[in-house]
Amino acid sequence: MSSFLGTERRTLRAGASGTRDRLVARVARMAGWLSRVTRMGAGATVPGRIVHRLDPGFIRRRAAALPDGIVVVSGTNGKTTTASMVQSVLRSQGISFIANPTGSNLLGGVANALVEAAPGTRMGVFEVDEAALPRLVPLLKPRLLILTNVFRDQLDRFGEPERVAALLRLACERLPDGATVVANADDIQLWSAVQACDPIGFGVSGISVSSDSGTEAEPVGCPSCGAELEFTHRTLANLGQARCERCGWRSARPRHRARVVATAGLEGIVFEIADEIVTLPVGGVHSAYNAAAAITAVEVLGIPAGAAIGALEEYQPRFGRAEEIRFEDHTLWLGLIKNPAGATVLTQQVAADRRVGAVVLSVNDNDADGQDISWIWDADFETLVESGMPLVPGGRRADDVAVRLRYAGGQPLPAQRDPLTALRAALDAAPDHDLIVVLATYTAMLDIREALFDRSTRVQDAATA
């Protein structure tokens, strides 16, 4: 059902370029297979890197061959989930697409997805790393760019959030004529950075934290005069609606705003958007933002909000993003943490859910996580400590996590660098509870998933078995 996505049909030109593409793709697939069988990697990026090395024009040609174009999602938090939500809507409409579902969001991961594109594929939906975005936009020429937010993240790689905002602005300036930008209107720094690109906004209301920013929030001055802003409501960290008393500047009015009407801890959130009620099967205000972004974006593609909402109410969480796994007669709820804003919204969500028996906090400092883990001192771990739940420090930096929890006033269980030992310590600490929460950085989550291999079952897979 792609009639509303445009009637233009573009096919890859036959001849030398088509033959070369097939040959390069065959070599790349073999490299990916070797990477997997030798356990040197998941084979998600090596093929793409080989493709780009052998044929730098491959990405541009393959992207141009997709009849209904490409959608790109970028920003600090929410890339994977927002892209997955857009994909769920497209799937519900019978639209074939390619994606980079493993989270490989650099050039190699995108190229690899294009290598694997099946004949007849109509669209591409890619999450793209913020630093890689300015380079990939001219190659992919997306018709739609979705920007989620800008938070402090990977300080050793990005420095301050202003640099991320500048990268997103540069990417917007490199978009092809006629492309559309959908951006978070509640993110003042992001919106002011891309405002010249005439973005379509989304936002969230109906839930509010203190009007004073916490340590997880970034200070934001008036984009017009630089004066201190007054928030009329703040939803998460530095997200919300604000105004300037000095010059009269106000936050932009989004096309779609999700108004939260009920929350259910980790289980879900209910909000109103486009005059319809949505019951989302994943919790947290961040989930409402991701869904609002997806609904706004697919509307640009011609898919009505009602159709999108129906698909999102059946949404299944992706790797480490509210994913549930059965392990030794317990349910593990997996959440990715990587910066103060994202960690804080999850710790508060977890602490409010009375079903949770214990929490594993697993932090690594590999390149993909960010080697600077000072962000843990600005995340709200105090709320977890106050909940009284048993807390197990884990990961390569388990000892640092234990120190952070003690400074928060807690008495964590012994630090466990081994992921399986950490999980079993949490299970032993909460024998009367079914639900155990695992909050982990990216590679720590990979370590946990590897430890659980052949020892666990995804909850949704078990339910349909």
**pLDDT band at 58, cuts 50/70/90?**
confident
Q: Helices 16-37 and 107-115, interaxial angle, to 10°?
A: 110
Is 105 found in the same domain as 185?
yes
Q: Is 360 helix (H, G, I), strand (E, B) or coil?
A: strand
Strand-pair category, 123-127 with 269-273: unpaired
Find the mean pLDDT for residues 394-419.
Answer: 98
Is 359 found in the same domain as 340?
yes
Q: Is the pLDDT score of 208 beyond 80?
A: no
Is 361 found in the same domain as 297?
no
Is 245 found in the same domain as 378?
no
**Domain span holding position 267:** 3-312
Of all residues in the chain, the percent with pLDDT exceeding 90 is 69
State the total domains in the chain: 2
The count of other CB atoms within 10 Å of the CB of residue 50 is: 22
| Burial class, 289, CB count within 10 angstroms (exposed 0-12 / middle 13-18 / buried 19+) | buried
Is 410 found in the same domain as 332?
yes
Of all residues in the chain, the percent with pLDDT exceeding 70 is 83
Query: pLDDT digit string (tens) for 75-107?
Result: 999 999 999 999 999 999 999 999 997 778 888
Is 347 found in the same domain as 206?
no
124: which 2 tokens? 């591409």
Query: pLDDT digit string (tens) for 292-302?
Result: 999 999 999 99
Q: Please state, in angstroms and rounded to a whole number, the distance separating the CA atoms of residues 241 and 386.
A: 29
165, 223 Cβ separation under 8 angstroms: no
Q: Determine the straight-line distance between the first and last CA of the chain, rounded to whole angstroms.
A: 30
Which of 287, 312, 337 is the last residue in one of the domains? 312
Q: Which region, left, alpha or beta, applies to residue 77 given φ > 0 means left and ψ of -120 to 50 means alpha?
A: beta
Q: Which of 107-111, 343-347, 399-403 is predicted with the least confidence, judged by mean pLDDT?
A: 107-111
Domain CATH for 116: 3.40.1190.10
Q: Is the pLDDT score of 27 beyond 60?
A: no
The residue behind tokens 């960290």 is 237
Q: In what order do the strands lie in the sheet with 200-205?
A: 97-99, 123-127, 70-74, 144-147, 180-184, 200-205, 256-263, 269-273, 276-280
User: Which of the given ranges, 20-34, 182-196, 228-242, has the highest pLDDT on average?
Assistant: 182-196
Residues for the chain: how many in total?
465
The residue behind tokens 């370029």 is 17
Is 354 found in the same domain as 223?
no
Q: Is the pLDDT score of 191 beyond 80?
A: yes
Residue with the larger pLDDT of the pair 416 and 220? 416
**How high is the pLDDT of residue 70?**
98
Which of 312, 336, 356 is the last residue in one of the domains? 312
Is 244 found in the same domain as 110?
yes
Q: Please state, in angstroms and rounded to a whole number, the distance separating the CA atoms of residues 295 and 304.
A: 8
Strand-pair category, 456-458 with 321-327: antiparallel
Is 327 found in the same domain as 299?
no
Q: Is the pLDDT score of 234 beyond 60?
A: yes
Which of 254, 288, 312 is the last residue in one of the domains? 312
Is 403 found in the same domain as 382?
yes
**How high is the pLDDT of residue 16?**
42
What lies within 8 Å, CB to CB, of 30 at 6+ separation is none
Q: Which of 65-69, 154-158, 186-190, 203-207 is predicted with the least confidence, judged by mean pLDDT?
A: 154-158
Residue 160 vs residues 132, 135, 242, 373: alpha-carbon distances, Å: 17, 20, 22, 14
Torsions phi, psi of 355, nearest 5? -75, -20
Is 326 found in the same domain as 274?
no
Helix (H) or strand (E) holding 278: strand 276-280
Handedness of CA 126, 259, 340, 425 (dihedral sign): negative
